Amino acid sequence: MAQPREPLKTTPLNAIHRRLGAKMIDFGGWDMPVQYASLLEEHHAVRQRVGLFDVSHMGEIEIRGFQALDLVNYVTTNDAANLQSGQAQYSGLLYEHGGFVDDILVHKIAADHYFLCVNASNQDKDYAHIAAHNRFEATVENAGVRYAQLAIQGPRALDTLQKLAAIALAPMHYYHFVDSTVSGAPARIARTGYTGEDGFEIYISSADAVRLWDEILAAGAEFGIKPCGLGARNTLRLEAAMALYDHEIHASITPWEANLGWIVKMNKGDFIGRDALDRQKQRGITRSLVGFEMSGRGIGRDGYEVCMEGRGTGWVASGGPSPTLGKNIGLCYLPCADAAPGRKIQVMVRGVAVDALTVSTPFYKRTK
């Protein structure tokens, strides 16, 4: 029996996307633009110039109180005690068994206030998970509806946003943020992104989203800015080998397996999932994420089986064409012994074994 479907959620920019002729898709329950005119042109705009993304579907969770840090550090894998105010870090939310609830960005606003950016389709789950483990003097707010989020990404992102921002952006370091204004509207301006390029993500009031979207497009016109959809966002992040929830990471994958050991600080004190990670490390990790490039004709895509010497050994977490490299690339899970660059593998492309080679990642790294 078909379940009655809930109506799709929309961002404040939904009417704008439709007016721009975007192809809209259901992305985790959100009605989002996958592309406007051409995914490839949008991808290249971000690599060569600048692109603007509506990422208002992303969730925000605010943690406040004098034990805010204790709660953040208990539910995340990275060490938020290392953050200065105005600094952000990539981190993980884990279950007790060590699998991912989500991957998130933790922003330290003040000693008693942390701001989490979480994945759109996970925000209610994340909120419930954090609230359920809140045995501290801290409050947890599921704040997604208050915020819109825009990503301005690419080598001319700074030039574009600087025309509207009240503060000097050039001195801002990667993974730092400032509460300031953009075209007079309050904005949390973070030098973060999901594309492998320089750029900014701004958190603004939903009420300001339409005006700022138009003003950023106008400010970037001289640099060749393009509105970009989730399709380009995915090809850009894959080239940068950044994880996507439900692909590289999910409830049955641990940070060790996903090559995300660098966001796990085992010595920071207890946190949810720590014991399971400790046990897995003692026992030994059996599978690991590794990049691949197709050498035969064919595109290895999400979920395809990976074989070595005719035997199934793993699966493609994410795969597709790389517009920047002009190759077909992907990330796959293989037994640890084989998850090293230079191994010959085959990807089963609709019943046909197509040759591929494991490679080191990221596939693309910008020149600074």
Partner 1 sequence: MDPENLRYTKEHEWVRVEGDIGIIGITFHAQKELGDIVYVDLPKVGTSTQQGKTVGSVESVKAVSDLYTPVSGEVVEINPLLAESPEILNTDPYGSGWLVKIKLSDPGEAGKLLTAAEYQAYTGTESP
- Residue 34 lies near partner 1 (rule: CB under 8 A): yes
Q: Between 160 and 235, whose beta carbon lies closer to partner 1? A: 235
Mapping DSSP onto H, E and C, the string for the chain reads: CCCCCCCCECCCCHHHHHHCCCEEEEECCEEEEEECCCHHHHHHHHHHCCEEEECCCCEEEEEECCCHHHHHHHHECCCHHHCCCCEEEEEEEECCCCCEEEEEEEEEEECCEEEEEECHHHHHHHHHHHHHCCCCCCEEEECHHHEEEEEEECCCHHHHHHCCECCCCCCCCCCEEEEEEECCEEEEEECCCCCCCCEEEEEEEHHHHHHHHHHHHHHHHHHCCEEECHHHHHHHHHHCCCCCECCCECCCCCCCCCCCHHHCCHHHCCCCCHHHHHHHHHHCCCEEEEEEEECCCCCCCCCCEEEECCEEEEEEEEEEEECCCCEEEEEEEEEHHHCCCCCEEEEEECCEEEEEEEECCCCCCCCC
Q: Between 39 and 272, whose beta carbon lies closer to partner 1? A: 39
- Residue 5 lies near partner 1 (rule: CB under 8 A): no
- Residue 298 lies near partner 1 (rule: CB under 8 A): yes
Q: Between 38 and 48, whose beta carbon lies closer to partner 1? A: 38
Q: Between 44 and 250, whose beta carbon lies closer to partner 1? A: 44
CB of 216 to partner 1, least distance (A): 24
CB of 291 to partner 1, least distance (A): 18
- Residue 235 lies near partner 1 (rule: CB under 8 A): yes
- Residue 231 lies near partner 1 (rule: CB under 8 A): yes
CB of 38 to partner 1, least distance (A): 6
Among 23, 135, 279, 366, binds partner 1 (CB under 8 A): 23
- Residue 33 lies near partner 1 (rule: CB under 8 A): no
Q: Could you say which residues in the range 306-345 bind partner 1, by CB under 8 A?
A: 320-321, 323, 328
Q: How many residues bind partner 1 (CB under 8 A)?
A: 19
- Residue 39 lies near partner 1 (rule: CB under 8 A): yes
- Residue 44 lies near partner 1 (rule: CB under 8 A): no
CB of 354 to partner 1, least distance (A): 10
CB of 299 to partner 1, least distance (A): 6
Tell me which residues touch partner 1 (CB under 8 A). Answer: 23, 34-35, 38-40, 43, 231, 234-235, 297-299, 301, 320-321, 323, 328, 350
